[in-house]
Amino acid sequence: MKQRTFLAALLLTLIQAAQADVLVLVHGYMADARSWEASGVIATLAARGWQPAGVLTLAPNGTSSPVVPSSAANKIYGVNLPAAAPLPVQARVLARLLDALRQRYPHERLVLAGHSAGGVVARMLVTGQNPYAVDTLVTIASPHLGTVRAAEGLELVDFNPFFCPGPGIDFMKHALGGEEYDYLEHSRGTLIDLLPETSGNLLAWLNRQAYPDIHYDAIVHTLPYTAGDDIVPAYSQDMNNVPALRGRVRTLYIPAAHSLNPQDGVLLAALLAQQPRH
């Protein structure tokens, strides 16, 4: 009987050791899945044993693109989200994609890593009962407490000087601002969701939800002589400042601007290599 128990325990250990890990990379505002490759993060992860396995996108009929299976022990999937949509809309799209991923990999350790607004969207997916059994959430330069840059973007979109009212100012904005202004205008809901936390807004609600007992890591970007990067202050990037997560987050600081860079891949790989499974 003892021998059977020992063999069963050994078999369970071997099965657990053989389990693969799935890393899902969630892009941020004004970006898509290609940002992880263009920044060098994918190449950095690949050099450390993480194999790119594809990009998941939601089709017009609401179904996920096929999940291309991978036999790699550590595999990476990117996602394409509607980055100009309000954060809850992005979260619903991400949920559909994770549902398809979980059907393909029902038992593997699932890690979400989100850059900028993508980290906030990813955090929305683990609230409550953690429906997709996420093991680890890593956020990179994410505005967990909001950013005044969102308010500045809204001011630009809503600016209407007295000397040029009506359609005239709209024409000037589009003509002078080009594609970036057009994006700002179409992403008004996103900017509202990223406003600094205040009573009644999205971040105030999200930051007081129940969070599961999983691994939480925050990579904070900071610039010299700046309390943060060029977009998000350091205190907002640190998930430990989220009331519901205070004291539960491992925080790492790197000297960097807001954009992704290869060092994010180095840190991400190191963090995941150090963590036991939940």
66-110 tens-digit pLDDT: 999 999 999 999 999 999 999 999 999 999 999 999 999 999 999
pLDDT class of 61 with cuts at 50, 70, 90: confident
User: What is the CA 174 to chain-centroid distance, rounded?
Assistant: 30
Domain encompassing residue 33: 20-147+194-274
CA atoms of 82 and 91, how far apart (whole Å): 10
Report d(CA 47, CA 131) in Å as an integer: 31
| Whole-structure pTM value | 0.87
211 CB neighbour count, 10 Å cutoff: 19
Does 52 score more than 50 pLDDT? Answer: yes
Provide the pLDDT confidence category of residue 278 given band limits of 50, 70 and 90.
low
Same structural domain for residues 207 and 245? Answer: yes
More confident residue, 176 or 75: 75
208, HSE (Cβ side, Cα atoms, 13 Å):
9
- Inform me whether the pLDDT recorded for 179 exceeds 90: no
Residue 167 CA to its chain's centroid (Å): 37
Cβ pair 22, 100 in contact under 8 A: no
268, part of any domain: yes
Look at residue 126 in the predicted model and tell me its pLDDT.
Answer: 97
Residues 100 and 132 in one domain: yes
pLDDT of residue 18: 41
Angle formed by the axes of helices 117-124 and 87-104, nearest 10°: 60
The alpha carbons of the chain give a radius of gyration, in whole angstroms, of 20
Co-location of 229 and 180 in the same domain: no
CATH number for 206: 3.40.50.1820
Domain count, the chain: 2
Smallest Cα–Cα separation from 44: which of 30, 23, 61, 62? 23
Q: How many residues does the chain have?
A: 278
Of 170 and 51, more confident: 51
Q: Which of 163, 186, 209 is the last residue of a domain?
A: 186
